[in-house]
Structure 1
Amino acid sequence: MKYYSMVEKLYLTDCYIKEFKAKITKIEGNLVFLDKTAFYPGGGGVENDKGFLSFNGGKVEVTNVKEVDNDVAHEVSSIPFKVGDEITGIIDWGRRYKMMRLHTASHIIASIAYSKYNAKVTGGNISPEYAKDDFDVDDKNKLLEIVKEANEIAKKSIPVKIYFLKREEALKIPGIVKLAEKMPPNIDLWRIVEIEGIDIQADGGPHVSNTSEIGEIVPIKVENRGKGKKRIYYTVKP
């Protein structure tokens, strides 16, 4: 699926692609552009993928991935290839999968916060080591209770579905955008992530396909971020 881009963004429809073949369409300095990619360029609070591009029996490290004019730029350690060459992209799967688990966990936590306290996410970030989310809640114990409830939901092995809806249809869904002060995306086709019976959000990032893959959500700490605002740090185990 092209999804309004010259590059086919494989990560939008299949979060489990670990390797893929693609052709180089453009090289700018140490930035390589491909006709398709499974490398997530970061966004929505989720950090970008890393990995390798394999070519002629060797491979170069992909140290950063980012969106450039709705294309995806792969920053590499060296350039042993040219435009038109075919490469194999290799995702750092350990890094990606940990962030997928944390990302799906964050959706469950955000859904509980929204339904129980009408609290929206006011900021956050997901790295392979941990996630952090800011909520407009007044009591740290509320967040700790939310994590407990999120763990109970994760254990239920609930499917996580990814599909696309036209903007006007998506806007009819209550709470489709749970990030405070974030305007709905001004595009005609929205990518929807639905945890059946629990949460539904407009979202462009990678997720696990079942909540059982999350493991245990473990709080690390809760910080005050001003009046009526708290930040929770958490990770997933094992």
Structure 2
Amino acid sequence: RSTLVSNVDNLLEFDRTIFYPTGGGQPFDTGTIRVSGKSYNVIDVIKKGDALLHKIDSPLEASRGEVIQEIDWNRRYSHMRYHTAIHIIDAVVHHSAGKYGLITGSQIYQDRARVDFDFPEFSRELADKIIDDSNLVIAQKHPILIKEMTSEEALAIPDLARTEPGRELIRKLSMVRVIEIVGVDAQADGGTHVNNTAEVGKIHLSGIESKGRRNKRMNIVLGSR
């Protein structure tokens, strides 16, 4: 339950929310809200400054009131599994490639994902090895923890942010959210994740692409858990 605090052109803001906005390569949550006995579909969630705006599919006259929120759990859980899979792949690449293999981008969908790395040389054989090693991590059933620490504490941990833009973002924050795959890796991250690597399921490599001289892409799909 939450309270509606603003309604401008069917963009709703609540005092708290369970909906995740688009960000960090992860799509927004969909679902429903219920106000005064009537349900509305949430079709987009937008972060604007410190506010999260929820776009609904039909007009709502109220600008205040109690709200019941419900997300599409199947969609959210799929995003969680893919987001954690990308973190595992990134950890494997980072620990094997060092200064090479920095992640340059990713995009999550409900049924697939892609992840891009800075590699001077890349091949299907190397990609297969990365995926095989990632699946070993998944099979080891590592717990996944969410922690918060100060900006100073985060900057003191090597590779918590692996790019200068990431480090610059940490410098601007007072508190930093960290995702730790216990015994494997830790990164500053604001996305949603599963509780254990076993929940990810098996990663399948559906293809590789060259997106530039050094920018290489892996496309993945997840099998059943």
Q: Taking structure 2 as the reference length, what is the TM-score of the superposition?
A: 0.92
Of 127, 134, 139, the residue aligned with 2:122 is 139
Deviation of 1:229 after TM superposition, in Å, equals 2.4
Conserved 8 A contact 1:121-1:180: no
Change (3 A) 1:189 1:104: same
Q: Taking structure 1 as the reference length, what is the TM-score of the superposition?
A: 0.88
Of 12, 29, 34, the residue aligned with 1:54 is 34
The 5 A counterparts of 1:13-162 are 21-118=1-98, 119-137=101-119, 138-140=121-123, 141-162=125-146
Conserved 8 A contact 2:107-2:113: yes
Helix, strand or coil at the partner of 2:192: coil
In the alignment, does 2:178 pair up with 1:192? yes
4+ long deviations beyond 4 Å: none
The superposition leaves residues 99-155 of structure 1 with CA deviations (integer Å, 9 ceiling, x where unpaired) of 100101110100111110121101111111211111012113222211111111101
Bigger mean CA offset, 31-40 vs 132-141: 132-141
Alpha-carbon distance in 2 for matches of 1:180, 1:133: 19
Residue 189 of structure 2 is matched in structure 1 by 203
Size of the alignment, in residue pairs? 218
Task: Name the aligned partner's letter for residue 205 of structure 1.
Answer: G
Deviation of 1:180 after TM superposition, in Å, equals 6.8
Deviation of 1:228 after TM superposition, in Å, equals 2.7
Deviation of 1:54 after TM superposition, in Å, equals 1.5
Alpha-carbon distance in 1 for matches of 2:178, 2:168: 12
Task: Name the aligned partner's letter for residue 145 of structure 1.
Answer: K
Measured on the aligned residues, the alpha-carbon RMSD in Å equals 1.4
Residue 175 of structure 1 is matched in structure 2 by 159
Residue 166 of structure 1 is matched in structure 2 by 150
Helix, strand or coil at the partner of 2:168: coil
Conserved 8 A contact 2:105-2:116: yes
Task: Name the aligned partner's letter for residue 134 of structure 1.
Answer: D
Alpha-carbon distance in 1 for matches of 2:164, 2:207: 22
Greater share of helix: 2
Change (3 A) 1:62 1:179: farther
Alpha-carbon distance in 2 for matches of 1:79, 1:34: 16
Alpha-carbon distance in 2 for matches of 1:237, 1:168: 39
